[in-house]
Every structure is written in C-alpha cells, then in structure tokens.
Amino acid sequence: MRYPGIKDAYHSFDEISNIRTAFWVISKSENSWGMLLGNSSGHSFHFGHDNSIFHHQYSSSAVRDGILSINGNDVDGTNTPFPSELSIISLQLSGEAKASNFSMDRGINGRFFKGDLGELILFDQALNQAETKAVESYLHRKWNLPLAYNPVLPPFSVSEDGVVSANRSFDYEELSQYPLRVKATDTTGRSFVETFHIAIQDVIEDLDQDGIQDAYDIDIDGDGSINDFEISYGTDPRDPASVNRSPSQLRLENQKSVVENTPASFVIGQFQADDADNDALSYSVSGNNFTIEQNGTVRTARSFDYEQEPTVTVTLVATDPRGASNSAVFSIEVLDLPNDLDEDGLADSVDPDRDGDGMSNSEELANHSDPDDSASIN
C-alpha cells in the first residue's frame, strides 16, 4: 500500500504494548518522514533526522539496541539510511515497545509516513534466529526480494490433491511445533483458511553417550572442548575429530654445545614448532638454567661447570592461543675447558705441581698441604 505522507493518511490499530519482533516489506520516499511504527503518545521507533532508520537518542533503547536487518544483513539502525527500494526489514527488539499505528508520529504535522508498505508482521515474543530467518525467507519468496543468505525452505508444502509433506528435518530443541496455514479454494473462487499446529516429537539425542542429552550437554561430542569454545574457535561441536590441535614437530635448530664457564646469554639454538591450525605460537622454558625469546632464541641463564654438569637438559614449551601446548626436553653438552691453576701452560690434569709452589702434588699430599693452594705449605 502506498502512503502519501499527508495528514491523517495512516492506519491505526489497538495499541500493542509488548512488541518484541517485527517485520516489514517497505520502502520510503526520499526526503520524507519515515517511522517504522507510530504511537499517539510515544516515539519508540523515532525516525532519525539524518534519514537514519532510528534516532540515536529519541528512539527507545529496546528498539535501537535490538538486532536490525535489511534483506538479511545486520545493520546499525542509528546510522543506516531508510531503504528507498522495497526491502525486507526485520527487528529483534532487546525489550518491549509500544505502537498503535502505521505510521504517524503523535499527530505532529509533517510526520506522516511517505512510501510503500507491502506487509507488516508483529510478534509479542522474541523470535530466535531460526524463527526470524524463517519469516524473512517467507517474505523473500512472497515478494521476490533479495536475501543475504540462502533462504530457509518452508517447513511444509501442500500438493494440489491435499497431501502435506515436510520439506526438511526438524529439531525439537529448536522449535517444538510449527504452524501450518492451509487455504482451500473451490471452483467458484470461494476460499477457507485454517491454521494447524504440527507438533514435533522429541527424540533423545546423546551424541557422546555420556548420559546427558545434547540439548543440555556443554560438550556434545565429548572431545574435552565445550561447545561455545568450539564455535568461537571455528571447530565443529558435534564432531570429536574437529578439535584444536596441539603444537607438534618441536625442535631445537642450530643446536650448540656450551663451553664451561661461558657467561650467561650464550645462544644454544633456535626453538621452533609447527601448528596444524596455523595458529601463532608462544614459547616458554621450564626451570632457571635457560631463557627463551618469543622468536624462539634459547640462551643460557648462567655459566656451567663441566666437572659438575657435563650435560644439562632444557625443557621447552610451545603453546597455541587456545591453551593447547606441547613440550620437549633437549640435552645440551657442556664442553670441558682444561684447568691450568698456575698458568704454566700445563693442564692441571698433567701438571706435577698444579699450584706452582715448587712442591709436587704428591709431596704436598704427603705433608698434608693443599696441592691446589700455593700458600698451603706445611
């Protein structure tokens, strides 16, 4: 129906005080007023002065904070212009709103809708996503208007000989009953319309057989990851094989040995790991003997003594953004640096007088003095 935008050119109805979901097939003329719904004493659906669908301040929070879609695309009604071409508008309100007409704003002169309204559907309950898409798909088929997603098939179809068939499978947890509106027309053109309610029989579903129905199970597939986590990550909460995979192929590249007494911060290698999900990995080290940088560079955190530790181990850990981790232990060889206490060019292991005090090691031991201390002479 076309509305000319002049005084008293609107349709009124008994006030509905608890609107929760609404659908329009609508277009608005340019440079005109365009409230989606009006009320004689309120302005919940207040039109934006900049031609936006809702005013950022004067529309009610239940309206402007709801989920608004145009032809299946979610938009922000406070900065989206009112469509000038016939479109499907759906609104899932965040609370209740009132309306009593389409569409004038409290009788104010110049605030009468100008444009075309093909269909208006109001619900006093908040429809879920599946129900909203079903109505949008119905309007898409009826008015041959575009839709951003593949339209939902109507639940049922009726053949010319009266056979009712289901067009798809049903999920009791999604919706327990569906309305079926049937119109019968005789050869004279007279018709009768009746609405039936088709009940969906509940079947107990327990994918992981843990005794908890899928509708109430926080981990439907029993893979250890809760459903919401899998959905946010992009894996399938109904497929135990669709999980976040831990880092793998842990390796220490360009691994080096370290000479004893080498100061801290010596680079012993580059730690790397692979991730089958192509996630960016973070690295850490267990213990206090080594440090690791986020690029994987592993350094010593102290010096080592070959005589005390000819081999040291380091545990390196790779972790993905979802907390899955893997670790590996690597052995680092400590190289012996020959000791020459008296710096005479002879290694202590072959020097008969290690401390260079003129008395042989054996003589000092026989005299109960220290062969490694030149001041220890008995």
What CATH number has the domain bearing residue 254? 2.60.40.60
Assigned domain for 56 exists: yes
Judgement on whether residues 116 and 178 belong to the same structural domain of the protein? no
Judgement on whether residues 322 and 264 belong to the same structural domain of the protein? yes
From 98, 115, 143, the end of a domain falls on 143
Whether residue 340 contacts residue 349, with contact meaning beta carbons closer than 8 Å, is answered with: no
Judgement on whether residues 272 and 171 belong to the same structural domain of the protein? no
Q: What is the pLDDT of residue 378?
A: 66
Judgement on whether residues 118 and 192 belong to the same structural domain of the protein? no
Judgement on whether residues 48 and 123 belong to the same structural domain of the protein? yes
Domain that holds residue 192: 156-199
Assigned domain for 343 exists: no
Judgement on whether residues 184 and 72 belong to the same structural domain of the protein? no
Judgement on whether residues 65 and 195 belong to the same structural domain of the protein? no
Assigned domain for 240 exists: no
Hey, which bits of 152-213 come out as E strands?
A: 156-158, 164-166, 177-185, 191-199
Judgement on whether residues 27 and 135 belong to the same structural domain of the protein? yes
Assigned domain for 80 exists: yes
Q: What is the pLDDT of residue 36?
A: 96
Assigned domain for 225 exists: no
pTM: 0.50
Assigned domain for 355 exists: no
Judgement on whether residues 166 and 258 belong to the same structural domain of the protein? no
Residue ranges for the chain with pLDDT beneath 50: none
Whether residue 125 contacts residue 18, with contact meaning beta carbons closer than 8 Å, is answered with: no
DSSP β-bridge partners for residue 335: 259
Assigned domain for 107 exists: yes
CB environment 130-156: b (16+ within 10 A), e (fewer) = ebbbbbbbbbbeeeebebeeeebebbb
Distance CA 42, CA 245 (A): 55
Judgement on whether residues 169 and 134 belong to the same structural domain of the protein? no
Distance CA 90, CA 92 (A): 7
Assigned domain for 234 exists: no
Judgement on whether residues 304 and 261 belong to the same structural domain of the protein? yes
Whether residue 68 contacts residue 77, with contact meaning beta carbons closer than 8 Å, is answered with: yes
Distance CA 151, CA 131 (A): 12
Selection from 287, 337, 293 nearest residue 312 by Cα: 287
Distance CA 339, CA 327 (A): 37
Q: How many domains does the chain have?
A: 3
325-335 and 258-259 strand pairing: parallel
DSSP letter at 111?
-
Judgement on whether residues 271 and 316 belong to the same structural domain of the protein? yes
